[in-house]
Amino acid sequence: MPKNHTIFDDDTLLTKKCPKCQTDLINIQRFIQVKTREIKGEENEDMFFGYTLKSKDFRTDPRHIFLFYSDATNDFLIVPMFEYLSFFHKKEIGKSHFGTPSFRIGNNKLNSLKRNEKGIWEWKSRTSYSFMPFLNEKGMELMANPDCDLQAKIYIKKIVNMKFDLFYDYSAGRQMDKKEEININKILQKEKSNKILKILLKCV
């Protein structure tokens, strides 16, 4: 529903207007990518959720959703594409895990998403950042928000811009000379020109 009214008793299959505000209903679609992990440990222990994401997983479509789940808890972390990119784009987390992949130990698995003994989900790197806005009902509210449907072009442009900032960053393997890493990143920065950005924005 355009105004995000979702709690009522009427059967929406039989009506074309919101029973609460009489606004015309809209159809929404979501594409969910599930990441699961078996975690051994007790419910009251600290645990981490390790997962991998490749560049092809980051679609420009704002309707794309990441869903993280482990059978060690009853928690679901539901993170729309725009919110996921925004989370890392806004915070000083350190070396980006979106960088161009190199030969790394462990297939570049991310182990910074953690749940402490109090049930708090955080992304821990140099400091801790709460992942609680994506937990269960809060994540469902983000997924149900129709803004990305009503303002799709605006969201797509924002996602493209964030992907340019986050992806054009080479992360070296342990054996690579740091000078070589710096040189590669200089080349990537040249590729990230305004001309290429304008071309991509016209294509989406």
Work out how many domains the chain is built from and give that number.
1
Q: Is residue 88 part of a domain?
A: yes
What is the identity of the amino acid at 83?
E
- Domain-embedded: residue 185: yes
Span 67-116, pLDDT tens digits: 999 888 889 999 999 999 999 888 767 556 776 555 444 556 788 899 98
Domain region containing 55: 27-203
pLDDT in tens, 114-140: 998 888 999 987 788 999 999 999 999
CA distance 113 to 185: 26
Judge whether 2 lies within some domain. no
**What Cα–Cα distance (Å) separates residue 137 from each residue in 1, 30, 78, 132, 164?**
17, 16, 9, 10, 31
158-183 per-position pLDDT tens digit: 998 888 878 776 666 555 666 776 77
Q: Check: CB of residue 76 under 8 Å from CB of residue 68.
A: yes
Question: Is 20 inside any structural domain?
Answer: no
Residue 21 inside a domain? The answer is no
